[in-house]
Every structure is written in C-alpha cells, then in structure tokens.
C-alpha cells in the first residue's frame, strides 16, 4: 500500500466517525482505562494513533487529558505482581499510547519511559503477533536498549531487522558510510503498508531520536513526511510516464517470436530497458536453451565487425558468446548491434531472487559470484561492470549460488558512437567510481560485490558491516583486495 493509500485509509476512517469523532475515540478509551478492561486497549490504541496522524491539533486538545489515565495505568503496573492479569498485547498497546501522547506534545515524566521499557522487558516474541513484536522492538530501540531490541528481532524481512543490521548505537546519525543511514529505512517503511502505531514509532526514531527534534513535533513531522512522499510519488509517476511515452515512441521493439542471429534464436520477452538500450530473453531454436539478448542502436556507417572483437575479448565465466552482430532485419532509421549470451548452467539471477533473499543468502551469492570473478581475473579480464542482470544462478534448498557471470552487455552499451540521450536500462549502478575514469582492478570488483550485498539484503548484514564499510570506500586503496574480501565473507557467513 502506497503512502497516499495509507493516509487516505486513515483519513476516510476518521471522517466516517462524523462530527463527534474525537468523542467516539475518547469515551471507549477512558472507559477501558478506568475499568482496567485491558483486552480492549490494542484496538483503541491504534484508533488513537490514527486520530493523531489525521488531525494532530484536534487530537492534542481533545485526547490529551486522557494521558493522565494512561500514566496512572503505567505506574499501577510497575510492581511485577500487578501484571498478572494483563496480556502481552495489552502491554504493547499501553506503551504505544505512551508514545502516541508524547508525539503530540503531552508532557511526559521521564519515569514513564523507564517503566514502559521495564514492561517490555517482561515480554517474549512468542507472546506477540508480528506487528506487535516489531513495535516492541522499535520501542526498545527508541528507549536506547539494543539488547532488548535484539530479543524481538526474529524476522529478517521486517523493518526491525533492517535497523539492527545498519545501526551501531541509538543516536548514531551516520550508521553506515556512503550515505547509508537509518533514515532511508524509516522513510521507506513509512511509505509501505503498516499500522498507525508503528508509523508513530518510526516517526519518533526519525525525528526525535535521530534528528533530535522535540517530542511534540513527531506527529506533525511524520504526517508531513507522508504527505511529501505522496507528492513525490505522484511527481515521479508523472515524470516516468512522460519519459516512458517518449522512449517507447522512439524505441525499437522486437515483435513477439522474432528470429535473430540468422534465425538461430527466437525472442520471447523483454527484461530491461525502454530506450535504445535493452535486454531481452530468447531461446535457441535448435535446443531450447535460454539466452540473454542485449542490443543498442549504432550508426549504419559503423561496421558490425567493429564490436565483435571487443565482445569476444571479454572473458566471461561459464557464459558463451553465441552471437555478436546486427539484428537480422534492422529498422529503416537505425541499425542495432546485438549480443547474445548463453549460460552454461543456471537461471537468470533476477528471476531466481525475485521473492527476495535473506542476509545469509545475499552473502552466499556474493561469495559465489566473487569466486567466478577471480577466475575471470586469472584469465586477464576484470569484469568491473558486471551486475545481477548479467549473472545466472541455482537454488539448492535455501542455498543460492551464482554459476555464471558476464559484463559483455555493458561493453556493448559503452561502444556507442552517436550523440543520443537515452534512458538507462537499469535503475541501479554497481560499478565502482573509478571504473569510468581509469583502469579497474580487483578492488573495483570488491566495491561492486559490496553494493550488491547491501541491495540484496536490504541493508548491511550485521556480521559484515565493518567489512562492507571498507569495501565501499571511495578510494580503491582503502578497500580490501578481492581474495581478502572473499575470505572475510566466508568468516561472516559462518558467524550467521
């Protein structure tokens, strides 16, 4: 669910309550708090959080006085024996309420946070639903208790895990070099489907704990961020639509089932690119083997033979260069260079990992890809412009292994001889900075592998965060060599 859909859902819910909406939220909450009807608190706490995000000024004035009752509950639960009749879900809801009221500027005695943290310390992940577990972990993080946060870190695919794999301390503003901070994790999570209580914890971490703004500004800033995200999403959508329409009007497209390379390959579907540079999938007619087809426009006066030697010289590993030449029937306006590759084994890597990978699997992929890059180095080729789209791999249970790697398509794309601006075929760049300015080395490969790990894992795996910090250094001399990098990856994988 996008940011706009998320906010629209909460706003619609609040609007449906009518003119007495704050009363409809406040009365059941005061009754549940006064009569200690703890089972009702989880749903009521979510309603309070939604009301605060939709209308923070109204919530501050209409709901603010209720915090006195919340504070009384927190103090009443301080003795351990007083918690016998309260569920784990209700405890998380009470802590959510503490955060919600603080987020609109309700004065919060410091002892309340201390007691709230002690309430969470009594819980275990097995007592909580997944969203409650994440909120408990985010709350512990906001309270500065990393050990307690790690207790609730039981799912490598959620936001809580992303925090713990990138941060080293509560108020560390730059948790990871090259601009990797907790803020992108927070902001990305705020645009995804989540409950309002979680949104307020994310807002607290972003605007209070990291950016050191006052507690009372959390709701305002969180709401403002979601609104800005909506605007950016719409602007980006419109810009992409305009560019796509322009590119598609000018771009060459194979008709479905087209035969290329003297009829040896049949085009099946497009993989990447909407401009003059594209990747397509094909099958070899003679045996049905999968092939990767890259093509780019070239001027008619440039002979196709000029690109064949360059592509042949790239020593890809376990990837056959099946064809390098022109499209069989070039359009009237432009000819096209074509590069067709067939892996010895494996599935096109983006297809293999389409459902996402764990940090351990990301490390395994990088280790196996690195070993293939070592082979290419030994043959005299630095495959410095390789990327996941030029790799193939296999799955054995939970284990993922890269079996073939190339960068010939990038070699093709770089041999353009005309002044024409086109949309890049890929959204991400993995090549090291020096690749475009000087001769690459094995340390350039280290940079690329490190970027892939961060991308695949959704952040820096904790066991190798220090290694990745060095591997992503701007200066090649500050990075480890490829052999040393792979050796440390082996150690990191064992630690996980």
Are 46 and 89 in the same domain? yes
- Residue 479, pLDDT > 60, answer yes
pLDDT recorded at residue 180? 38
Helix (H) or strand (E) holding 352: helix 349-352
Q: How confident is the model at residue 298 (pLDDT cuts 50, 70, 90)?
A: low
Tell which phi-psi region holds residue 424, choosing left (phi > 0), alpha (psi between -120 and 50) or beta: beta
Which one has a higher pLDDT value, 181 or 153? 153
Are 138 and 75 in the same domain? yes
Cβ-count burial of 57 within 10 angstroms (0-12 exposed, 13-18 middle, 19+ buried)?
A: exposed
**DSSP codes joined into one string, 83-109:** GTT--HHHHHHHHHHHHHHHHTT----
When pLDDT is averaged across residues 138-156 and rounded to a whole number, the result is 83
- Residue 330, pLDDT > 70, answer no
* Domain stop point among 233, 250, 275: 233
pTM above 0.75, yes or no: no
Task: Summarize pLDDT for 186-196 with one digit per residue, the tens.
Answer: 766 766 667 88
Residue 106 covered by a domain: yes
Are 10 and 48 in the same domain? yes
* Domain stop point among 233, 249, 272: 233
Q: For residues 247 and 242, what is the distance between their CA atoms, to the nearest angstrom?
A: 9
Are 322 and 227 in the same domain? no
484: Cα within 13 Å, side-chain hemisphere: 11
Q: For residues 398 and 29, what is the distance between their CA atoms, to the nearest angstrom?
A: 46
Q: How many CB atoms lie within 10 A of CB 109?
A: 11
Are 273 and 228 in the same domain? no
Q: How many CB atoms lie within 10 A of CB 76?
A: 12
User: At 401, is the secondary structure helix, strand, or coil?
Assistant: strand
Are 316 and 376 in the same domain? yes
pLDDT, the chain, mean? 82
Using alpha carbons, select from 429, 174, 412 the residue that is nearest to residue 296: 412
Least confident of 69-83, 179-193, 432-446, 447-461: 179-193
Q: How confident is the model at residue 177 (pLDDT cuts 50, 70, 90)?
A: very low
Residue 239 covered by a domain: no
CATH number at residue 454: 1.10.510.10
Are 211 and 275 in the same domain? no
When pLDDT is averaged across residues 236-257 and rounded to a whole number, the result is 65
Least confident of 134-148, 344-358, 405-419, 467-481: 405-419
* DSSP for residue 166: T
pLDDT recorded at residue 205? 82
Using alpha carbons, select from 162, 123, 117 the residue that is nearest to residue 144: 117
Residue 61 covered by a domain: yes
Q: Which residue range is the domain that position 330 belongs to?
A: 259-495
Q: For residues 167 and 177, what is the distance between their CA atoms, to the nearest angstrom?
A: 11
Task: Summarize pLDDT for 40-74 with one digit per residue, the tens.
Answer: 999 999 999 888 888 888 888 888 888 889 888 88
Are 201 and 328 in the same domain? no
- Residue 129, pLDDT > 50, answer yes
Q: For residues 338 and 291, what is the distance between their CA atoms, to the nearest angstrom?
A: 12
pLDDT recorded at residue 281? 92
Residue 398 covered by a domain: yes
* Rg, the chain, Cα only: 27
CA dihedral sign, ordered 112, 118, 121, 126: negative
Q: How confident is the model at residue 293 (pLDDT cuts 50, 70, 90)?
A: very high
Residue 247 covered by a domain: no
When pLDDT is averaged across residues 409-433 and rounded to a whole number, the result is 73
Residue 249 covered by a domain: no
Residue 10 covered by a domain: yes
- Structural domains in the chain (count): 2
Residue 246 covered by a domain: no
Using alpha carbons, select from 414, 409, 411, 423 the residue that is nearest to residue 273: 423
Tell me how far apart the 2 most distant CA atoms of the chain are, in Å: 87
Are 278 and 208 in the same domain? no
Are 328 and 402 in the same domain? yes
Which one has a higher pLDDT value, 269 or 157? 269
Q: How confident is the model at residue 304 (pLDDT cuts 50, 70, 90)?
A: low
Which one has a higher pLDDT value, 445 or 174? 445
Are 229 and 275 in the same domain? no
Q: How confident is the model at residue 224 (pLDDT cuts 50, 70, 90)?
A: confident
Are 355 and 465 in the same domain? yes
* Domain stop point among 215, 233, 251: 233
pLDDT recorded at residue 368? 96
């Amino acid at each position: 669910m996008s940011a706009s859909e998320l906010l629209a859902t909460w706003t619609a819910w609040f609007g449906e309550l009518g003119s007495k909406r704050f009363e409809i939220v406040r009365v059941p909450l005061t009754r549940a708090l006064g009569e200690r009807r703890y089972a009702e608190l989880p749903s009521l706490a979510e309603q309070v959080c939604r009301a605060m995000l939709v209308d923070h000024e109204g919530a501050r004035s209409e709901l603010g006085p209720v915090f006195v009752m919340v504070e009384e509950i927190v103090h009443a639960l301080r003795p351990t024996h007083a918690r016998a009749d309260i569920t784990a879900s209700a405890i998380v809801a009470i802590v959510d309420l503490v955060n919600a009221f603080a987020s609109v500027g309700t004065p919060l005695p410091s002892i309340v946070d201390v007691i709230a943290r002690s309430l969470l310390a009594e819980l275990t992940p097995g007592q909580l639903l997944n969203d409650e577990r994440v909120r408990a972990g985010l709350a512990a993080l906001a309270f500065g208790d990393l050990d307690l946060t790690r207790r609730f870190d039981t799912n490598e695919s959620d936001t809580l895990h992303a925090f713990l794999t990138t941060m080293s301390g509560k108020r560390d503003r730059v948790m990871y070099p090259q601009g990797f901070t907790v803020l992108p994790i927070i902001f990305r999570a705020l645009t995804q489907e989540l409950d309002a209580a979680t949104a307020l914890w994310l807002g607290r971490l972003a605007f209070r704990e990291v950016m050191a703004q006052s507690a009372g500004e959390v709701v305002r800033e969180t709401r403002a961020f979601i609104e800005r995200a909506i605007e950016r999403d719409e602007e980006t959508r419109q810009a992409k639509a305009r560019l796509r329409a322009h590119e598609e009007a000018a771009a060459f497209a194979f008709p479905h089932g087209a035969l290329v390379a003297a009829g040896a390959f049949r085009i099946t579907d497009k993989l990447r690119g909407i401009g003059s540079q594209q990747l397509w999938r094909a099958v070899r007619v003679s045996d049905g083997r999968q092939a990767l087809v890259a093509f780019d426009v070239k001027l008619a006066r440039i002979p196709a033979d000029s690109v064949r030697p360059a592509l042949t010289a790239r020593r890809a590993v376990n990837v056959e260069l099946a064809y390098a030449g022109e499209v069989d029937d070039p359009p009237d306006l432009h000819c096209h260079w074509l590069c067709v590759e067939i892996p010895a084994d494996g599935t096109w890597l983006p297809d293999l990992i389409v459902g996402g990978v764990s940090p351990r699997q990301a490390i395994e992929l990088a280790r196996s890809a690195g070993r293939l890059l070592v082979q290419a180095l030994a043959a005299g080729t630095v495959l410095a412009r390789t990327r996941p789209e030029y790799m193939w791999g296999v799955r054995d249970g939970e284990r993922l292994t890269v079996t073939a790697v190339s960068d010939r398509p990038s070699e093709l794309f770089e041999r353009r001889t005309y002044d024409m601006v086109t949309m890049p075929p890929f959204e991400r760049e993995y090549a090291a900075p020096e690749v475009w300015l000087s001769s690459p080395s094995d340390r350039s490969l280290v940079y690329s592998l490190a970027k892939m790990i961060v991308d695949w894992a959704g952040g820096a795996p904790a066991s190798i965060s220090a290694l990745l910090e060095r591997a992503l250094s701007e200066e090649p001399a500050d990075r480890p060599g490829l052999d040393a990098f792979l050796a440390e990856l082996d150690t990191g994988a064992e630690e996980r």
